Amino acid sequence: MPEAVRQTRPPMRVETILLPPGPATAAQEVHEQLRLFFDHAPIGISWVEWAQDGAREVHYLNHRFCEIIGLTPAEAADYTNVRNITHPDDLARQDEMAAALHRGEGTGFALDKRYRHRDGSLVWGSLTVVVLRDAAGHVTHQFSLLEDITARKQAEAELHDVLRRREELERIVNRSPSVVVLWKAEPGWPVEFVSASIRQFGYTSEDFTSRRLTFLDITHPDDRERVKAEMAVHAAGGHAEYNQEYRLLCADGSARWVDDHTVVRFSAGNSVTHHEGLITDITVRKEAEQRERERQERDLRLAGEVQHHLRPHVFPDIGTVEIAALAQPSAHIGGDYYDVLPVAARRWGFVIADVAGKGPAAALMMAACRATLRQCATDEPSAAAVVRRVNRALHSDMPRGMFISLFYGILDLDTNRLRYVRAGHEPALLLRAGAKKEEYLHAGGLALGLDPGPIFDAELAEGEVTLSPGDLLALYTDGITEAASAADEEFGSDRLAAVLRRDAGRPLAEITEAVDRDLREFAVLATRGDDRTLLLVRPR
């Protein structure tokens, strides 16, 4: 509304214009009762007599009529005054309706019009006019009702402004390259709103609001379980806002990468009611990132292939011993190393190592450690003696700040006796067949490369343990035990032991799969920053 409108003001004190007094008759008593009623009516009331020459005589004006238009009774009795305070934009319509009445058309009219109040504010009034005619059809009397509708008009104007802004916002949203979506926190993700920009993926808003489709339906099958798992983690953590990247299936069957920025709505009771999603196509960015990764990692991939061939993939058939491994480098090339190597007749060495650091330098030191260990292990029955020689050989070539943690054990197949050393590495985990409590092989010393010889040799202790058929020996790197959840909780050796104990009777390949599955579910949102390696050994 362009002009200021009146809110509230003290009521005017006006005198009611009455009909001339007459004899006290029953009709006059009725008139007096009506006058009292009209005087206290919540709307303005006026009664005007018209002469054939157009002259007007006001017989009655109540308090409320004068109060609404802001004139005294004497002022309001003058038609010119009322006309002068009528808004110019409303005069033509009022004159047209009044002229129609005096031409004999109809018995009245209704009009919303504006008055300029004496205090300068603009007053909206709803005017209803009813006329009486004589036998010739001339207007003789005019009865008018006036209601102050200023507050209603102001509310309508405010509502109109809100709707206009909403329509403008909807136009902006629908023109945006990003898709705005609102869905309820219920099974199936029912969509309540989706912007028209969903057309870029080949769909219409009605495809989702009619529930013919859900966003889960158009999420790429390879990403669905991950997306649901991530949402479950965010919900469990009470996260009010988060981002996901996944692929959407377009109506034509193609796939597009999107970034989904989700804001969670909560009820007054702090329960989740809705999710607001802002979905942006990031396919071009993902493709550019992929090309850049391919360019940067081409050489690393080749190095990783070389390193891959250095790890055993088919273990030797020892006969009385089962062997299986899980190896997951955090990049194309890693610093973890595991091996099974012949030491002498009926003796086999089992080793797992972790180079501190990542990238090409760690991979080169891992390769050097492997070659040196294989050379030193032949025909040497003492695990400690082998590791001491390996440390002396590697120390001078070890880059500053780098070291290698290592577990090395020699198993005598005739006695099932395992002699082992632990050079700064995680203690091996031993689950005895039928036992409820796991054991840890703690005998240890310094990591390789920290000392050239004397201190390393003195600190390194050799342990010994005898294995029985069905016992499960697990060698692992800290990439497994230090895998973190979204709540920054580590997987830990106790959780690893629980997984191994749960599946201890299954084939070793299935046990490694179970560990891998549990690790992925535990660390679903965490970035894997370290290699994960597990070597399982079980006498038959």
Dist CA 28 CA 170 (whole Å): 64
Phi-psi group of 134: left, alpha or beta (phi > 0 → left; psi -120 to 50 → alpha; rest → beta): beta
Q: In this structure, what are the phi and psi dihedrals at residue 406, rounded to the nearest 5 degrees?
A: -150, 140
Separation of alpha carbons 339 and 352, rounded Å = 7
Sign, CA dihedral 20-24-28-33, equals: positive
Q: Do the Cβ atoms of 60 and 18 come closer than 8 Å?
A: yes
Residue range 26-154, CATH number: 3.30.450.20
- Per-residue pLDDT at 9: 42
Q: Which position has the higher pLDDT, 361 or 370?
A: 370
- Please give the CATH topology (third level) of the domain spanning 310-539: Phosphatase 2c; domain 1 (3.60.40)
More confident residue, 306 or 144: 144
Which pLDDT score, from 0 to 100, does residue 33 have?
Answer: 79
8 — pLDDT class (breaks 50, 70, 90): very low
Q: Is the dihedral of CA 481, 482, 484, 489 positive or negative?
A: positive
Return the CATH number of the domain spanning residue range 176-281. Answer: 3.30.450.20
Cβ 469 vs Cβ 459: under 8 Å: no
CB atoms within 10 A of CB 539: 20
3-state secondary structure of 202: coil
Q: Radius of gyration (Cα) for the chain, nearest Å? A: 45
Residue 332 pLDDT: 60
Residue range 458-486: mean pLDDT, rounded: 95
Q: Is 60 exceeded by the pLDDT of residue 22? A: no
Token pair recorded at residue 530:
């370290």
pLDDT at 489: 92
pLDDT at 508 over 90: yes
> What CA–CA distance (Å, rounded) separates 361 from 398?
10
Chain centroid to Cα 308, Å, comes to 39
Instruction: Kindly report the length of the chain.
Output: 540
pLDDT at residue 143, rounded to an integer: 92
The tokens for 527 are: 């970035």
pLDDT tens-digit map of 162-205: 877 777 666 666 667 789 899 888 887 789 998 888 999 999 99
Q: Could you tell me the pTM of the whole model?
A: 0.48
The total of other beta-carbon atoms located within 10 Å of residue 326's CB is 20
Beta bridge partners of 5: 122
> Is residue 409 within 8 Å of 418, Cβ to Cβ?
yes
Which position has the token pair 């104007």?
157
The pLDDT, as a whole number, for residue 459 is 95
For the residues 404-430, what does the mean pLDDT come to?
Answer: 96
pLDDT in tens, 45-97: 998 998 887 788 888 889 999 999 999 988 988 888 898 999 999 999 999 99
| Encoded tokens for 103 | 């031409």
Retrieve residue 490's tokens.
Answer: 């580590």
Looking at residue 454, its pLDDT comes to 93
Fold equal for 26-154 and 310-539: no
* pLDDT for 187: 82
pLDDT band at 310 (very low <50, low <70, confident <90, very high): low
Mean pLDDT of 481-508: 93
- What pLDDT score does 405 carry? 96
H or E element at residue 511: helix 508-522
Question: Quick one: pLDDT band at residue 308, thresholds 50, 70, 90?
Answer: low
**Residue 13: predicted pLDDT:** 39
d(CA 370, CA 363): 11
CB 348 within 8 A of CB 375: no
Give the CA dihedral 319, 322, 328, 334, nearest 10 degrees: -50
23-27, 33-37, 250-254, 324-328: least confident range: 23-27
Domain map (residue ranges) of the chain: 26-154, 176-281, 310-539
> What mean pLDDT do residues 258-262 have?
94
Q: Is the pLDDT at 416 greater than 90, yes or no?
A: yes
Given a contact cutoff of 8 angstroms between Cβ atoms, the answer to whether 338 and 325 are in contact is: yes
Tokens representing residue 27 in the block: 């009709």
Report the alpha-carbon distance of residue 454 to residue 456 in Å, rounded: 6
Q: Per residue in 447-459, pLDDT tens?
A: 999 999 899 999 9
The DSSP code for 197 is G
